[in-house]
């Protein structure tokens, strides 16, 4: 079930204003105390950078296995491992509007999660999941870093074929004897993250001159191969007339 920090109280008149102040001091302590212990029927959650939360224990969900929403912000040095932000309920999604994450959820605004992608177990670098992507995972522990982070397991093979934006950044045109060798800077669809530079086209080109897109936005299609490398399949090139 969702786990959120305890809310604070408010009052305008005495003695309730003073009582509310005392309660709020206790609430703030509960929401930030890593050593908090819960009583019978409750579980206490401590997530680095987000305080503590109390929730009723459920027999079908062991306290050590809590579901979290995370967003990847960077790849770590280890293959299949990422830094990310934890998002907290409550979601304010409306059925009548298109999905646009985080849908009202609170961004912890710091890299307080170490995300492990089980689909990359045993694979070499580079990592497959895209920066800025959201995932639902299981909280299984905390790191031993000086500033501990929640360890979150996800299982995502990554996108198979996905749209990107491209900008030509190198290479040369083709001739009557040779195909073109244009390369591209590749971005996520809103250009907020650069996925690669000097990326060649993976699809074979015919011999001859090829015209690349010069305006923006310029769209293409990409995928990540079995070794985790970004491959640009289509950059919108057309043969010169």
Mean per-residue pLDDT pooled into runs of 10, the chain (241 residues): 60 73 72 50 51 47 73 91 93 94 93 93 78 92 93 85 92 95 93 90 95 94 79 94 76
How many alpha carbons lie under 13 Å from residue 151 in its C-beta half-sphere? Answer: 11
154 exposed, middle or buried (CB, 10 Å; 0-12, 13-18, 19+)? buried
SS3 148: coil
pLDDT at 41: 46
* Torsion angle of C-alpha atoms 151, 152, 153, 158, degrees rounded to 10: -120
Of the candidates 141, 38, 139, 127, the one whose C-alpha atom is nearest the C-alpha of residue 87 is 139
Of the candidates 84, 168, 190, the one whose C-alpha atom is nearest the C-alpha of residue 127 is 84
CA distance 86 to 50: 8
pLDDT at 147: 92
pLDDT at 226: 67
pLDDT at 90: 87
pLDDT at 159: 66
CA distance 142 to 189: 33
Tell me how far CA of residue 209 lies from CA of 30, 182, 218, 219, in angstroms: 67, 10, 19, 20
């Amino acid at each position: 079930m969702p786990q959120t920090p305890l809310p604070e109280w408010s009052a305008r008149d005495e003695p309730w204003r003073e009582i509310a102040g005392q309660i709020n001091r206790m609430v703030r302590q509960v929401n930030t105390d890593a050593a908090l212990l819960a009583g019978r029927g409750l579980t206490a959650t401590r997530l680095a950078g987000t305080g503590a939360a109390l929730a009723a224990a459920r027999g079908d969900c062991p306290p050590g296995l809590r579901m979290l929403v995370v967003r990847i912000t960077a790849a770590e040095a280890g293959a299949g491992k990422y830094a990310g932000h934890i998002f907290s309920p409550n979601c304010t999604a409306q059925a009548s509007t298109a999905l646009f994450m985080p849908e009202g959820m609170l961004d912890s605004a710091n890299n307080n999660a170490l995300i492990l992608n089980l689909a990359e177990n045993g694979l070499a670098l580079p990592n497959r999941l895209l920066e800025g992507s959201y995932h639902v995972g299981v909280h299984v522990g905390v790191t031993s870093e000086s500033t501990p982070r929640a360890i979150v397991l996800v299982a995502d093979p990554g996108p198979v074929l996905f749209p990107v934006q491209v900008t030509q950044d190198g290479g040369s045109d083709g001739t009557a004897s040779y195909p073109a060798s244009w390369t591209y800077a590749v971005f996520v669809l809103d250009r907020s993250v650069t996925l690669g530079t000097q990326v060649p086209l993976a699809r074979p080109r015919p011999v001859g001159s090829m015209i690349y897109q010069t305006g923006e936005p310029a769209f293409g299609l990409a995928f990540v191969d079995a070794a985790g490398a970004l491959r640009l399949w289509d950059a919108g090139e057309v043969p010169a007339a």
